[in-house]
Copies of this chain bind each other. A is one copy, B any other.
Amino acid sequence: MTTNKPLILVCNDDGITAPGIRNLVDAIKHLGEVVIVAPDSPQSAMGHAVTISKPLRLEKTDIYGEIQSYQCSGTPADCVKLAVDKVMHRKPDLLVSGINHGSNSSINVLYSGTMSAAMEGAIEGIPAVGFSLCDFAYDADFSYAKKVAAQVAENILNNGLPHGTLLNVNIPKATEAEIKGIKICRQANAKWKEEFDERKDPNGRKYFWLTGKFMNNDKGEDTDEWALANNYVSIVPVHFDLTAHHAIPFLNKWNFSI
């Protein structure tokens, strides 16, 4: 069905049946014509992986009733690529990804499948945003996150986004009464301190589980981590030009004898 309403593509990384994406669809469906293309199984921490060494499956589902939805065997970035090439009748006006079960603030933007879907949208020239609720629970309370998602989506549809920019929106785990507002932030310079849990399998062979502690040494009050710790929603504008422009003069002083 072709309409004049905004065309909105919905994706995530927790899989098409996750409560987060169901809440996101519910939050934004009044804003336009919605099409869902999401992974058929959880794809957390997939970063910006794409599937090149095996074929992809894409199946229409009816789990969203009247709303068109497709499940895909690939990564979040695959979902967006397939949606743009094979599902959508025109370029979407908006891509919303999430709502992720768990934070994607700071350095997690790099590991996040939720954000890779949004980034793939931005690369395709689609205004895009990823939403994450800082609560890993399956039965987390998405009611305030839904309000944030609706308002951010509406702002993007009304105002657009600067070329090549997408948004990383994180919502603190707090009650609506506790939340102080919304802050536009920069990505905090924080990282994970890895600690692999070493175990033995039933055959006596060693294996490792990735665990770790999140370490934030960035004391700036303009960061997403500061905002979330102080019960603000954080919005970080993100781009996919990874060039460290400030380092170019330093490198131009190097000598090469080739």
Given contacts A81-B210, A147-B258, A182-B258, contact A237 B241 (CB under 8 A): no
Given contacts A56-B207, A123-B107, A241-B187, contact A194 B162 (CB under 8 A): no
A116 to chain B, nearest CB (A): 7
* Across-interface contacts of A198 in B (CB, < 8 A): 86
Given contacts A86-B208, A119-B110, contact A182 B256 (CB under 8 A): yes
A116 to B48, CA, bound (A): 10
Contact, CB under 8 Å: A210 / B78: yes
A14 to chain B, nearest CB (A): 12
A205 to B58, CA, bound (A): 10
A108 to chain B, nearest CB (A): 10
Secondary structure type dominating chain A contacts: mixed
* Across-interface contacts of A48 in B (CB, < 8 A): 47-49, 110-111
A56 to B211, CA, bound (A): 12
Contact, CB under 8 Å: B209 / A55: yes
Interface string of A158-169 (1 = CB under 8 A from B): 010110110100
A219-258 at interface with B (beta carbon < 8 Å): 235-248, 250-252, 254-258
Q: A44-B53, A186-B241 are in contact. List 18 more A-B contacts (CB 8 A).
A: A45-B51, A45-B53, A46-B49, A47-B48, A52-B210, A56-B209, A57-B207, A78-B210, A82-B196, A144-B258, A147-B258, A162-B244, A235-B251, A236-B243, A237-B244, A237-B245, A237-B251, A238-B242
Binding site for B on A (CB under 8 A): 42, 44-53, 55-58, 75, 77-78, 81-82, 84-86, 107, 109-111, 116, 119, 123-124, 144, 147-148, 151, 155, 159, 161-162, 164-165, 167, 179, 181-182, 184, 186-187, 189, 191, 194-196, 198-199, 205-210, 235-248, 250-252, 254-258
